[in-house]
Chain A
């Protein structure tokens, strides 16, 4: 799972949860995979994502070093910044670990890079 995906995830489907974002990451295995750098694409993604959540997630996996807490101004033309963001958003992959609901503490396991976001039978409300 890439951090860009993580930035869109929410546990708001869990009973009683309102926002469910961002999910805390507890990673036991992280890999980096080479992805072609496309500054235009990464700029568009940055515009859409929630930067504070990315900053927190980067901190969760100890990759926040060198990452500004807020979006740099005129980042579209700042290649160094875009490269950091590119690496963090698209190259870093959480292979093993857990995603934790910020409101309930419910853990969603990540196995072989795949988050399992299913609820157990007893967690599903009958009045959906």
Chain B
């Protein structure tokens, strides 16, 4: 069935197949504006071989690889078809002939494949028309001569570069440590940024796309089919304005917002990409390991174009000062940040809604999977409660303290439906409620615990309210155990478990910040900035916004326009000491849950959004002060446990 428009006489069954084929072709034309070709091409549209009918990429690959080398299989969400791009037309033709009418089993049902040739693939998987705010692409930033010069420079001697599975890399200025995604500022490399780069770096500075000359360079080289996982450069380690010079082959760069938005931008050779503001701090970027890119041709069609060797020069400016490596939250902002501490009750609720409740809802399963071991001192407290006690665990999470003492009656409460559901599945009594409105009678509990909850409240009034609410439900003489995260993560020269877990850093790819460089132009693409033309102007996209205006991470509903002089909330770098009491603490989601979209082995792109949880970490004595303020209680015990401040209160009357 190579050519469906054949004029020879057809049998009945052939006619039937042709009819179906025509219908599929019309549908694809209608939905995606893709025209079919009557002569063989190396791109096949495989109808009934798509995600929507339950076919996965792996099974398409297994079936079609028998007929020749496949460059790419393009699966499109919610479509009944996929595209198979062969290296050459002959293989494509053989596959088309052999597999048309083939029965593929998906979800227990047989799908008869309809296959035909197309000249292009749909634009939805090519570059998108919009790009993340703060992103600047300067096309033809360097000349071809310069490109050659730079490429010669990276003809690496064997053994001087790191050979990754996915790419080759080499560092200048400072060694980039992939274990912590940062550099060690007290150990500069002998070789600084090569002189050959100075010309265009100064040009970038003159154009005001950056405010400083970078001091760290990573050169990466990608063979066709290699890529880099989606990531954002570590917040604390580097300043705003990460520059990426592309050499050799074009490559499609994918940008992902933590909320799920996905944009793609084609990086042509000799172009300079500058990531500033939101595009640098909030969006993550990566390169899908592919052998082709989908590129719009001059006539506006989208066609797969082979990827050659792509070399990128990534320039960064260190944000860390010598001697302050651990406190690497960038403190050199110019005070322009998106989120401030709330002033009103309403703002506080909005902040907590977005940066506590919604986050726990999103991460419930992953969070729960990391919270299995109960803390010994909390277990001891629960075990010493007399049989027949009534216990409320306010902020019970996945319920790990609800089954500790079988001789007491335990009720859990949490703000997260996802976490309460986990408690329910574990056969614990649990309900969804707020710590400031606990739906329990006054004086009903013999004992309460409230572990790692109050530090999520964003004003002192609310934290005070929570302690009062806990005391309200306690009977006179009843006890409550409260744990909050401590500002002090090191006591008596002993680091808390939290700080010690350095291995965690390996998994921590992102730390985002919300500061923006207001001087930088936002979201622009410039054509033909010639290598010598320093007078080029950079125009700002009028639809783009500053980070503060766009408010992706800020309080919505018009609350983002704060007066000056407000206190900003910074983003904490995991496994470091806290710089401030009010912080956003990133949670890197690992999305290996329920991902049944199987892909060929060399195509393991990963999207792992980072969520920011609000925390008010308590300084020594603050928790006790709050409890004293609440009154009607004695502080029975107060202690420090692995980076937490803890109190046991006894209600007086």
Task: Give me 20 A-to-B residue pairs in the complex whose CB atoms sit less than 8 angstroms apart, sorted by A's number.
Answer: A2-B429, A5-B411, A8-B411, A8-B441, A9-B439, A10-B442, A40-B388, A47-B388, A112-B421, A114-B431, A115-B431, A116-B431, A117-B434, A117-B437, A119-B437, A121-B349, A124-B349, A126-B346, A128-B461, A128-B462
Interface size class of A (residues with CB under 8 A): 20 to 34
Instruction: Find the residue from B432, B438, B439 having the highest chain A CB count within 10 A.
Output: B439
Is A102 engaged at the interface, CB distance under 8 Å to the other chain? no
Contacts of A2 in B (CB 8 A): 429
Chain A residues near B131 (CB, 8 Å)?
none
B431–A11 touching, CB < 8 Å: no
Per a CB cutoff under 8 Å, which of B431, B436, B438 touches A5? B431
**Bound complex: CA of A95 vs CA of B581, how far in Å?**
42
CA of A115 to CA of B424 in the docked complex: distance in angstroms? 11
Given A4-B409, A41-B387, A10 contacting B441 (CB threshold 8 A): yes
A45 and B439 CA atoms in complex are apart in Å by 19
Task: Tell whether B68 is near chain A: CB-to-CB under 8 Å.
Answer: no
Residues of A within 8 A of B421 (CB): 112, 114
Question: Interface digits, A1-43 against B, CB 8 Å rule (1 contact, 0 not)?
Answer: 1101100111111000000010000000000010000001101
Chain B window 458-476, contacts with chain A (Cβ cutoff 8 Å), 1 for yes, 0 for no: 0001100100000000000
The reply to whether B429 and A118 contact each other, CB–CB distance below 8 Å, is no
> Does B193 belong to the interface (CB within 8 Å)?
no
Q: Mark B400-444, 1 if CB is under 8 A from A, else 0.
A: 000000010101010101001100100101111110111111101
CA separation between A126 and B459, bound complex, in Å?
13
Chain B residues lying within 8 Å of A114, measured Cβ to Cβ, are 417, 420-421, 424, 430-432
Q: Which residues of chain B from 455 to 499 have any CB-CB distance to chain A below 8 Å in the complex?
A: 461-462, 465
With an 8 A cutoff between CB atoms, is B622 at the interface? no
Q: In the assembled complex, which residues on chain B have CB atoms less than 8 Å from the CB atom of A118?
A: 415, 432-434, 437
CB-based contact A8/B390 at 8 Å: yes
Decide if A127 is an interface residue (CB 8 Å cutoff).
yes
Decide yes or no whether B11 CB sits under 8 A from chain A.
Answer: no
Assess whether A112 is in contact with B409, with CB atoms less than 8 Å apart.
no
Contact partner of A41 (CB less than 8 A), chosen from B388, B442, B461, is B388
List chain A residues, Cβ under 8 A from B549: none
Residue of B nearest to A125 (CB): B345
Task: Describe B's contact surface by its main secondary structure.
Answer: mixed
How near does chain A come to B243, taking the closest CB pair, in angstroms?
A: 43
The yes or no answer to B160 lying at the interface (CB within 8 A) is: no
Q: Which of A8, A113, A127 has the most CB of B within 10 A?
A: A8
Question: Is B344 part of the contact surface with A, judged by Cβ < 8 Å?
Answer: yes
A residues engaging B (CB < 8 A)?
A: 1-2, 4-5, 8-13, 21, 33, 40-41, 43-45, 47-48, 108, 112-119, 121, 124, 126-128
List residues of chain B with CB under 8 Å of any chain A CB.
Answer: 344-346, 349, 387-388, 390, 407, 409, 411, 413, 415, 417, 420-421, 424, 427, 429-434, 436-442, 444-445, 461-462, 465
Contacts of A108 in B (CB 8 A): 439
**Contacting residues, chain B, for A113 (C-beta < 8 A):** 424
Q: Which residue of A lies closest to B429 (CB)?
A: A5
Q: Give min CB distance, A76 to chain B, whole Å.
A: 12
A40 contact set on B, CB distance < 8 A: 387-388
Residue in A closest to B386 when the chains form the complex, CB atoms:
A44
Hey, which chain A residues are within 8 Å of B411, CB to CB?
A: 5, 8
Complex formed: what's the CA distance from A2 to B412 in Å? 13
CA distance A36 to B427 in the complex (A): 14
CB distance from A116 to the nearest CB of B (A): 5
Q: Pick the contact of B439: A13, A47, A121 (CB < 8 A).
A: A13
Alpha-carbon gap, A47 to B446, bound state (A): 13
* A33 / chain B contacts, CB cutoff of 8 Å: 427
Contact B440 A45 (CB under 8 A): no
A124 to B350, CA, bound (A): 12
For A13, the closest partner residue in chain B by CB is: B437
A116 with B432: CB separation less than 8 A: yes
Complex CA distance for A115 and B413, rounded to whole angstroms: 10
Tell whether, in the assembled complex, residue B441 and residue A9 are in contact, meaning their CB atoms are under 8 Å apart. yes
* Minimal Cβ-Cβ distance residue in B for A101: B439
**Inside 8 A of B439's CB, which chain A residues have their CB?**
9-11, 13, 108, 115, 117
Residues of B within 8 A of A41 (CB): 387-388, 407
- How far apart are B469's CB and chain A's nearest CB, in angstroms? 9
Q: How far is the CA of A48 from the CA of B388 in the complex (A)?
A: 9
* CB nearest to A22 among chain B residues: B441
Residues from chain B with Cβ under 8 Å of A4 in the complex = 409, 429
Chain A neighbourhood of B346, CB < 8 A: 126
Q: Of the candidates A45, A112, A127, which one forms a contact with B388 in the assembled complex, judged by CB atoms under 8 Å apart?
A: A45
A residues in contact with B387, CB < 8 Å: 40-41, 44
Given contact pairs A8-B441, A13-B439, A114-B430, enumerate 5 new A-B contacts (beta carbons under 8 Å): A1-B429, A8-B440, A10-B440, A48-B388, A117-B434
Would you call A112 and B424 a contact (CB within 8 A)? yes
Contact across chains for B431 and A1 when beta carbons are under 8 A apart: yes
On chain A, the residues within 8 Å of B440 by CB distance are 8-10
- For A112, the chain B residues whose CB sits under 8 A away are 421, 424
Is the Cβ of A115 less than 8 Å from the Cβ of B441? no
Nearest-CB distance from A20 to chain B (Å)? 8
CB proximity of B335 to chain A, nearest CB, Å: 29
Q: Which residues of B contact A126 (CB under 8 A)?
A: 344-346
Please, how many angstroms separate the alpha-carbon atoms of A8 and B429 in the complex? Answer: 12
- State in angstroms the CA–CA spacing of A118 and B438 once bound together: 9
Least CB distance from A18 to B in Å reads 11
CB distance from A36 to the nearest CB of B (A): 10
CA of A116 to CA of B437, assembled, Å: 12
A2 to B442, CA, bound (A): 19
A13 vs B441: C-alpha distance in the bound complex, in angstroms? Answer: 10
CA distance A40 to B386 in the complex (A): 12
Cα(A41)–Cα(B465), bound, Å: 33
- Residues on the A chain within 8 Å of B437, using CB: 13, 117-119, 124
List chain B residues, Cβ under 8 A from A127.
345
- Closest B residue to A126 using CB positions: B345
Which residue of chain B is the closest to A47 with respect to CB atoms? B388
Cα-based distance from A83 to B387 in the complex (angstroms)? 19
Chain B hits for A21, CB < 8 A: 441
Of B407, B415, B430, B442, the residue contacting A12 (CB under 8 A) is B442
How distant is B387 from chain A, measured CB to nearest CB, in Å? 7
Distance from A5 Cβ to chain B, minimum over Cβ atoms (Å): 5
Closest CB in chain A relative to B646 CB, distance in Å:
25
Q: Which 3 A-B pairs have the closest CB atoms?
A: A44-B388, A13-B437, A117-B439
Question: In the complex, what residues of B have CB within 8 A of residue A13's CB?
Answer: 437-439
